[in-house]
Homo-oligomer: A and B are copies of this chain.
């Protein structure tokens, strides 16, 4: 009862789920050569609850019963709860060498968003169902994911618009009966779905009345009949061209999830036709999920900082003015992110009885990270120099004659070996992948989504400022 081990989590994955990867059906994600890499990452969350040095951070207690539970599934009430969760995500990501384990983060964001929506609606059924489901997750300690983004078709058109090429671009209810509902559609970009236990589904946009069949939210086990996933491929091993490193590869993968007339029992349905509440749900999910994003990106950004400092030293240019300028840019980037992420916790708001990080600060943190990321990568590549893409490889280094020439000629600053310089360049190449650029932009919502939210949330500030200025300008309205 309560917390489970990493081992038990891994065992739970052999449940008949339907997963495709590189054109083949996967027998068991936990033993698959590539996907097991992701499973190991997710397992870190379970290990944190076991390890004495991280247990305090990872585990919360029910204030009434004293029962232990994963902190992710604890309902946040105040700034302290939010700061704890923030620290937990940061620490977990550090343990993941820059990759957030994600066993419960996004799931918790969806759980809270659903809970807030039910509370705001004041719908007793929904409130009871989501509370029961929260208790279920607390007790079973399951790994969860959240399927949010529908495939959308033509984005300018509403889900129900007859001009859409088909009516299934957004997940929708196609039938309903006493036991539950039948849903159809497809979701995209669903991180961790292939190796979680349960999947939340929530709408990905505001809905109009005509879209009411699309205003649907629920939770189902990953192995539910009719659910098929296709995972995005990735490299699960360091290249043999790189200097060998004694660290596991850390990564996640995203799924394209197809819902082929999937049955969901009523006790797992959290929205079904209440079209005017779809926006509340996705909106609050977005805020909390962006908070998650900002937290996990801090350790990743620290890697960028460290890589820039190291290669500047190794290249012998740490004292050059334009290099110091670029290092200053990078540190400003990191510290702005940290400041906004913490401000979001301090300035929390209460929504539907749950503490939510300040939406303006949260969206600004995510926007900052995304919008300025390419500048930081440019500065890193600038400091690293052309050797980043022209250096001989570890394969060449194994040829004695070439080995000697590399040792002699590829030294930068005296006292730092050529090997170490090449190692840091290997690291930077892994760090500054183009895939990351796109994830940074679009993960947790695109830059434009954050800008729109900032402007919307700032309306009271704008109005107050306008009134102030009108007073100062002698304007009466």
The answer to whether A331 and B455 touch across the interface, beta carbons within 8 angstroms, is yes
Q: Write the nearest CB–CB distance from A233 to chain B, whole angstroms.
A: 6
In the complex, whether A15 has a CB less than 8 A from a CB of chain B is no
Which of A62-70, A283-291, A401-409 touches B?
A: A401-409
The answer to whether A389 and B435 touch across the interface, beta carbons within 8 angstroms, is yes
Cα(A156)–Cα(B152), bound, Å: 31
Q: Write the nearest CB–CB distance from A90 to chain B, whole angstroms.
A: 13
- Per the 8 Å Cβ criterion, residues 358-413 of A in contact with B are 360-361, 364, 367-368, 373-375, 377-378, 381-382, 384-393, 395-396, 398-399, 401-402, 405-406, 408-413
- Per the 8 Å Cβ criterion, residues 110-141 of A in contact with B are none
Across the interface, which residues of B come within 8 angstroms of A465, CB to CB? 302-303, 305-306, 309
In the complex, whether A473 has a CB less than 8 A from a CB of chain B is yes
The residue that A455 contacts in the complex, of B186, B327, B401, B464, with Cβ under 8 A, is: B327
Q: Write the nearest CB–CB distance from A400 to chain B, whole angstroms.
A: 12
Q: Write the nearest CB–CB distance from A405 to chain B, whole angstroms.
A: 5
The answer to whether B434 and A382 touch across the interface, beta carbons within 8 angstroms, is no
The answer to whether B389 and A364 touch across the interface, beta carbons within 8 angstroms, is no
In the complex, whether A78 has a CB less than 8 A from a CB of chain B is no
Q: Write the nearest CB–CB distance from A251 to chain B, whole angstroms.
A: 12
Given A343-B343, A390-B189, A409:B151 Cβ within 8 A:
yes
Which of A34-42, A50-58, A165-173, A269-277 touches B?
A: A165-173
Cα(A71)–Cα(B233), bound, Å: 46
Cα(A334)–Cα(B248), bound, Å: 42
In the complex, whether A9 has a CB less than 8 A from a CB of chain B is no
Q: Contact size class for A?
A: 35 or more
Q: Which residue of B lies closest to A97 (CB)?
A: B472
Given A166-B408, A437-B381, A335:B458 Cβ within 8 A:
yes
Q: Write the nearest CB–CB distance from A253 to chain B, whole angstroms.
A: 9
Across the interface, which residues of B come within 8 angstroms of A429, CB to CB? 434
The answer to whether B335 and A360 touch across the interface, beta carbons within 8 angstroms, is yes
The answer to whether B23 and A393 touch across the interface, beta carbons within 8 angstroms, is yes
The residue that A243 contacts in the complex, of B168, B406, B413, B474, with Cβ under 8 A, is: B474
Across the interface, which residues of B come within 8 angstroms of A392, CB to CB? 20, 230, 232, 256
Which of A175-183, A217-225, A441-449 touches B?
A: A441-449
The answer to whether B393 and A447 touch across the interface, beta carbons within 8 angstroms, is no
In the complex, whether A211 has a CB less than 8 A from a CB of chain B is no
Which of A100-108, A348-356, A420-428 touches B?
A: A420-428
Given A322-B448, A328-B451, A414:B303 Cβ within 8 A:
no
Cα(A441)–Cα(B316), bound, Å: 19
Across the interface, which residues of B come within 8 angstroms of A256, CB to CB? 390-392, 405-406, 409-410
The answer to whether B409 and A186 touch across the interface, beta carbons within 8 angstroms, is yes
- Per the 8 Å Cβ criterion, residues 457-477 of A in contact with B are 458, 461-470, 472-475, 477
Across the interface, which residues of B come within 8 angstroms of A188, CB to CB? 386-387, 390-391, 409
Across the interface, which residues of B come within 8 angstroms of A317, CB to CB? 155-156
Across the interface, which residues of B come within 8 angstroms of A315, CB to CB? 155
The answer to whether A439 and B335 touch across the interface, beta carbons within 8 angstroms, is no
Closest 10 CB pairs of A and B: A23-B395, A306-B469, A306-B465, A386-B442, A321-B321, A427-B473, A254-B390, A374-B374, A245-B474, A305-B465
13 further A-B pairs in the complex, CB-CB below 8 A; given A20-B402, A151-B409, A168-B408 = A153-B414, A185-B409, A188-B390, A230-B392, A305-B465, A309-B462, A310-B473, A322-B325, A339-B339, A382-B448, A386-B442, A420-B470, A427-B473
**Would you list 30 pairs from A and B whose C-beta atoms are within 8 A, ordered by A residue?**
A20-B399, A22-B241, A23-B395, A24-B395, A154-B412, A156-B319, A157-B316, A166-B411, A168-B408, A188-B387, A188-B409, A228-B401, A230-B396, A232-B389, A232-B390, A243-B474, A245-B472, A254-B390, A306-B466, A309-B469, A310-B466, A325-B451, A327-B462, A331-B458, A339-B340, A374-B375, A377-B434, A381-B438, A424-B469, A426-B473
